[in-house]
Structures are given as C-alpha cells and as structure tokens.
C-alpha cells in the first residue's frame, strides 16, 4: 500500500531538502503544495527547487502555470486528487500553502468552481471593513476596487476551508518548526541571498506582466516590486517589505498548521540536518 507523507512548514525551514532526501529513502514522488512554485518564471522569489536540488526525483505541479493563468484551490484539489489516484508509488506532498493541502486531503466540497459574491451595494470602505474583520493584516489600497472584491471573495472561501472536516486519505503529516528568532533570521538571510542570486533581474523580466497577473500582485517576494516599478519606491524599502511580509506569513503558516492538522512537530536541526531526516524517516517506518 502506498504511503502519503505531508511535509509542511513555514518559509525557509528546509522542506525542500527534507522531502527530496525522504523521497530517495522511500521511493516516492513529490507533489508540490506551494501555490507560487506552480507558476513558470517565478523561480528565485518563490524559492522553487532547482533541478540540482530535485536530484532526479519526479516533482509534480512545478512550472505548471502561465503567469496570466487563473488557477484556484478548487482546480488544485481536482487535479492533485486525480494525480494521487493514478500514482502507484509512495507520495510526498510538500509545501507551505496550508489551504491547498487542506482542500486536497480533507473532505472539503466547493459549492461552485467559480463562486461569485454580489458586492454592488458595498462601498470601497465597506469592502475594506469586511476584509479587516476576517484578516486585519491584509493591506490593500482603498481605491483598488477590483482587488478589494477579489480578496474578500478569497477570504470568504478560505473561511469555509478552515472549518473542521474529515481526512480522506491515509496520510502522515509532519510540520517543521524551529526557534522563532532563528526562523526570522533565516528568512532575512534568505531574502538577501535571493537578491544576490538575481531576483532583481528575474523580476525586471516580468515587469510587463504586473498589471495583468494576479499571482504577481499577490505573491510575497513579487508583489512588493510593483511600487518599485511604478511608484518609485526604493529598492531598500522593497527588500525590507519582503522580509517583513515573509516573517508575518511564516507566523500565519505556523498558526494554521497547528490548528488545522494533526501533525508530528519536528524541531529542525540546522547544524546537523541529517538528524532531522532520520527523525522523520524513523517515524515513517514505524507508522
């Protein structure tokens, strides 16, 4: 019987390395559950695994989408479930997009593929107020009506996913974590490394997509550059915003994993990562 292993954790905690090493040990393929890595061309800012990092392990849902393609959680649920049913080998699902993992593996039914809400009677201020009621950390300009409506719709649908539901697959969940200060330092250093590795060049090549691509307007590491290109915000401020937004996102990820999944929590040993690999592997073997 094939095993389904889920590796979750905040950004920068070592999910990619762990998943590849485990895949080699248990003869598994990897299904990506990071929503940004599904898009082509978003490589450095998404920390998408490189071919060298994949080490020959088959990865699914990497570079699947064009930048202007609208791909919903419903689409992922449908496509990834179909893939799981077809695969005969062990499967490792890895990523930080908790909503995608929840929708994939739990009995969550979408009412409609293209759920719409009527906001015609709402002022922009009222839309913003509704958004803040659900998530006070969201920052949107009050004059951006289209984005206000899109974000409120997404938040409403996500509220439904957050409700308790039954697990459909026999899966073992692992949530990676570490000391909060260590995590934030790793995130800050990771952003600096992205800049060194050519993030500015990568994003400059995407400038023409910024006014049409939803993913570029929403993804941390990319959305911050809109003001750099169009509102003359300095590069230093943009980099600081990426670090801040990444830290806040990591905090939300950990909270979501804690409340939504029954996981083995693994404190990552960055000084000797092999110990972390062996700890997770020993649990899988006993499970």
Q: What is the pLDDT of residues 228-255, one digit of tens each?
A: 998 889 999 999 999 999 999 999 999 9
pLDDT higher than 80, residue 121: no
Rounded Cα–Cα distance for residues 133 and 10 (Å): 24
Q: What is the pLDDT of residues 34-78, one digit of tens each?
A: 999 999 999 999 999 999 999 999 999 999 999 999 898 889 999
- Report the pLDDT averaged over residues 124-128: 89
- Report the pLDDT averaged over residues 95-124: 80
b/e 166-204 (16+ beta carbons within 10 angstroms → b) = eeeeebbbbbbbbeeeebbebbbebbeebeeeebbebbe
pLDDT for res 70: 87
Q: In which band, very low, low, confident or very high, does the pLDDT at 113 lie, cut at 50, 70 and 90?
A: very low
**Claim: this prediction has a pTM higher than 0.85:** no
Residue of 205 and 111 predicted with greater confidence: 205
Looking at every residue in the chain, the average pLDDT score rounds to: 91
- Over its C-alpha atoms, the chain yields an Rg (Å, rounded) of 19
Residue of 223 and 133 predicted with greater confidence: 223
pLDDT for res 232: 86
Least-confidence region, from 27-31, 69-73, 167-171 = 69-73
Using alpha carbons, select from 24, 3, 8, 11 the residue that is nearest to residue 174: 8
Distance spanning both ends of the chain, measured CA to CA: 13
Phi, psi of 285 (to 5 degrees): -65, -30
Q: In which band, very low, low, confident or very high, does the pLDDT at 217 lie, cut at 50, 70 and 90?
A: confident
Percent of the chain at pLDDT above 90? 71
Contact 123, 181 (CB under 8 A): no
Rounded Cα–Cα distance for residues 114 and 110 (Å): 9
Q: In which band, very low, low, confident or very high, does the pLDDT at 195 lie, cut at 50, 70 and 90?
A: very high
Q: In which band, very low, low, confident or very high, does the pLDDT at 173 lie, cut at 50, 70 and 90?
A: very high
- Report the pLDDT averaged over residues 8-36: 96
Q: What is the pLDDT of residues 129-164, one digit of tens each?
A: 888 888 877 888 888 888 888 888 877 766 655 555
Using alpha carbons, select from 123, 133, 122, 126 the residue that is nearest to residue 156: 133
């Amino acid at each position: 019987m094939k095993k389904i292993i889920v590796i979750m954790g905040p950004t920068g905690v070592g999910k990619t390395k762990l998943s590849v090493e485990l895949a080699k040990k248990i003869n598994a393929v990897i299904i990506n559950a990071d929503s940004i890595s599904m898009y082509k061309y978003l490589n450095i800012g998404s920390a998408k695994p490189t071919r060298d990092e994949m080490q020959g392990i088959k990865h699914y849902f990497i570079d699947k989408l064009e930048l202007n393609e609208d791909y919903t959680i419903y689409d992922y649920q449908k496509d990834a479930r179909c893939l799981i049913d077809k695969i005969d080998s062990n499967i490792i699902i890895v990523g930080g997009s908790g909503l995608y993992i929840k929708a994939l593996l739990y009995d969550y039914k979408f009412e409609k593929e293209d759920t719409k809400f009527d906001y015609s009677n709402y002022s922009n201020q009222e839309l913003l107020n509704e958004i803040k009621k659900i998530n006070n950390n969201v920052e949107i300009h009050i004059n951006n009506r289209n984005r206000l409506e899109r974000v409120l719709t997404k938040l409403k649908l996500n509220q439904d996913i957050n409700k308790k539901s039954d697990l459909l697959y026999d899966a073992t969940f692992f949530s990676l974590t570490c000391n909060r200060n260590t995590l934030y330092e790793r995130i800050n250093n990771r952003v600096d490394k992205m800049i060194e590795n050519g993030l500015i060049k990568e994003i400059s090549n995407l400038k023409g997509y910024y006014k049409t691509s939803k993913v570029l307007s929403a993804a941390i590491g990319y959305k911050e550059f809109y003001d750099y290109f169009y509102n003359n915000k300095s590069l230093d401020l943009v980099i600081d915003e990426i670090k801040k937004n990444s830290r806040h996102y990591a905090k939300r990820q950990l909270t979501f994993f804690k409340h939504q999944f029954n996981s083995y929590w693994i404190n990552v040993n960055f000084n000797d990562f092999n110990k972390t690999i062996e700890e997770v592997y020993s649990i899988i073997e006993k499970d």
